[in-house]
Structure 1
């Protein structure tokens, strides 16, 4: 069996006595250990004879790279000078979040950074942090929940429809949305995302296919939600035929589920091994885009982003079907992702960790809280923010602090005052945990134009 294969076996084939042996054993143990030893040795021999033929191969690509243009590991030092940056809403951002951005700006690959007014501290980049890098991708600059996104569907139904229909709408959310680690839909649905080549070409992702299939159309825990409310459209929305007015709408917030989390963990580990950094910035380890792992992460990250969108599309399809009405239009955006963009004429990787893309004319959704409005926005393409905006109101209190400060009674009192029905949810997501979304929007009026709002009425979250 492959698990009994040793470095001595590879050296007998002619492998050099260097890191190539360790890489080969690591890849075999991780992805091929259940196969026959003879089969594995024959394949390894072919890689040794013609490594260039195995470039980008799921199992052997990393070994082929080591045999041709090996990745050299060396301790990385921070620069003495920060890359240029902008901070929006400095007075409402905690010092730790600012320091995390300042540290990231000293990476040798940093080109430019920005901090959004909803920012607060996280791992690696702060939440609300934006960082452009030179030919390098930082897994923790994207975040664990790859492709976490907002999606809002508007129905050609007046907002007044909700009056007297609350029980029906509440029942739809209870019956047709699933949350957390254990809940899945009884009736699974297929989707074109499962034919993505990443599910066959990348061994790690291939192992996650069954989980991804089970979790399609479900939402995570924490601050993820699906909610009915009404959209107040004040300006014509590009791509929509609906005139300004108030309409029934559905808003969801979730990401790539177990698929994205596993991808994030795996490639963060590889980044920390290939790009060791001082302890206080170790979560900012990057993958060079010219390496096998860098290219593989990029493919896996984009797959996770597409899967997150597929989940939202499935959620909205299920809810619309239960409602018996067609969706008029949908607006959505990632806010945990990385994109290839040009910054001051230079091709860069732009990481937005808890930040909304706000390129010129680009539509997006910036939510408030379960009792505060969200905003339908159009980007102004401001280069100072790296064409970004906030991804929400941002937290004032951590989850732990919420549990210490607030009770469920406190939360219910505010929900009742605001006329919001909550299904599930915990005090760590209490409305009091968040900044004033109105003030946050004022602090970024040079980043986005407001086209309308979404007011939550019936909110479903993980219990």
Structure 2
């Protein structure tokens, strides 16, 4: 009886499994055992499947046996199990937070590396960790827990210029804002226009060839702003009483507020290291975007350095913008406050060092200054943190969306958006319906939900707002 009657199903029945080894076994049988007794060969192959080590000296089956042993001893891509029960976490303003954000936070609280978590009152569903989610992890960093726009931040410059000077010179301030800012996904400066900054000389740009290849893009976009909800705006900031720590008397002053991140550099780094984390850290499907890197690993250390580089680059972008604007208007700077989100910090919590991820959340340690914006037609607030342990020393990073971009575009008309801007005496340059004020939660409700987290120092009212022309997202 001829061997050509033995097929893959026959081998599967005696212990082989689907895959490369099955194909190799069929090749060996076709080449060497076509005319051999079928039962004898099946018996031999069954013995080979059970104990391939016995055939390492076999003149025909040695190579196949070797490959079978190598495959059996190769590391398997085993899925890391989540904890059965989620750790408890604090939620602020829960009645205004969508179920998707809470569900995502519950999954994050089941990670084996999770130590603590909290959900801020502006929270809404995102990818992996919800926007407004704070997660403390033990010796692990989660690229998607940081987010795509690494080191996105707020920067506020307060000038000694009284509010009446702004109202008397509105067109001047509008002209300078247009002249010294640039917006939108992928947009940057021609070589002759580019700014210089020490961050471009950082050694981390030479850490890998991948990062080195991003240097020119980073240079071209230095001092520009992204799309989506990123902005640069003039506004009036009001101190109802003297702030001795900032040395600013009660009054109303002109201020410049900007919101943007690490541009194409950060987005590219985030994509690369998220893919790397997913390759290394296999989590169940509903937790896949929470893949983490061990801080003791080469990949973890590399991401940490890249993340900090992107964060410092984002800060440099704001510095370039604010320096240009200060020079253009000639005012004296009274104070500058800056804070970032979409980042991870090494902090001490409950006596142990943890990695605190704040994805769309503002650091609010005791005495730490921060800026929490509303929308283009709603006030923002200069705040000082209270250092609340349950919130992991955090607060909201804004009002938070109550409509997705798609929902806002479908449900809000240009006439409605124009009306609310006129009502609040706001001049808007750029932006799409996806950034309409009605797409955001009420900032006053959000601030009321976090009275235990921050003290309000001053109130900022937007007056001239510039955003990307089409409301586009960062690339």
TM-score range, shorter chain: 0.7 to 0.9
What's the counterpart of residue 199 of structure 1? Answer: 205
CA contact (8 A) 2:186 2:264 kept: no
What's the counterpart of residue 364 of structure 2? Answer: 358
What's the counterpart of residue 20 of structure 1? Answer: none
1:2-401 alignment runs, 5 A limit: 74-186=78-190, 187-237=193-243, 240-401=246-407
1:416 is aligned to 2:415: no
Q: Secondary structure at the match of 2:406?
A: helix
Deviation at 1:237, TM superposition (A): 4.2
Structural RMSD (CA): 1.4
Using structure 1 for the length normalisation, give the TM-score. Answer: 0.83
What's the counterpart of residue 434 of structure 1? Answer: 440
CA contact (8 A) 2:229 2:435 kept: yes
Q: In the TM superposition, what whole-angstrom CA distance separates every residue of 1:27-73 from its partner, at most 9, and x where no partner exists? A: xxxxxxxxxxxxxxxxxxxxxxxxxxxxxxxxxxxxxxxxxxx9985
Distance 2:129 2:244 in 1: 33
Deviation at 1:346, TM superposition (A): 1.5
Deviation at 1:97, TM superposition (A): 0.3
CA contact (8 A) 1:231 1:455 kept: yes
Distance 2:185 2:114 in 1: 36
CA gap 1:295/1:373 in 2 versus in 1, 3 angstroms: same
1:453 is aligned to 2:459: yes
Distance 1:278 1:403 in 2: 34
CA contact (8 A) 1:202 1:296 kept: no
Question: Any unmatched runs of 5+ in structure 2?
Answer: 1-73, 470-475
Q: Secondary structure at the match of 2:312?
A: helix
CA contact (8 A) 1:220 1:257 kept: yes
Larger Rg: 2
Deviation at 1:230, TM superposition (A): 0.7
CA contact (8 A) 1:420 1:456 kept: yes
Distance 1:364 1:112 in 2: 22
Deviation at 1:181, TM superposition (A): 2.8
Deviation at 1:301, TM superposition (A): 0.2
CA gap 1:437/1:128 in 2 versus in 1, 3 angstroms: same
Q: In the TM superposition, what whole-angstrom CA distance separates every residue of 1:350-388 from its partner, at most 9, and x where no partner exists? A: 000000000000000000000000000000000000000
Q: Secondary structure at the match of 1:77?
A: coil
Using structure 2 for the length normalisation, give the TM-score. Answer: 0.81
Deviation at 1:242, TM superposition (A): 2.2
Distance 1:341 1:334 in 2: 15
Deviation at 1:236, TM superposition (A): 4.2
Q: In the TM superposition, what whole-angstrom CA distance separates every residue of 1:138-177 from its partner, at most 9, and x where no partner exists? A: 0000000000000000001111111121111111111110
Distance 2:422 2:360 in 1: 29
Q: In the TM superposition, what whole-angstrom CA distance separates every residue of 1:94-152 from its partner, at most 9, and x where no partner exists? A: 01100000000000011100000000000000000000001000000000000000000
Q: In the TM superposition, what whole-angstrom CA distance separates every residue of 1:251-308 from its partner, at most 9, and x where no partner exists? A: 0000000000011000000000000111111100000001000000000000100000
CA contact (8 A) 2:402 2:439 kept: yes
Distance 2:265 2:376 in 1: 27
Question: Any unmatched runs of 5+ in structure 1?
Answer: 1-69
CA contact (8 A) 1:114 1:130 kept: yes
| More displaced stretch, 227-236 vs 178-187 | 178-187
Deviation at 1:438, TM superposition (A): 0.5
CA gap 1:415/1:322 in 2 versus in 1, 3 angstroms: same
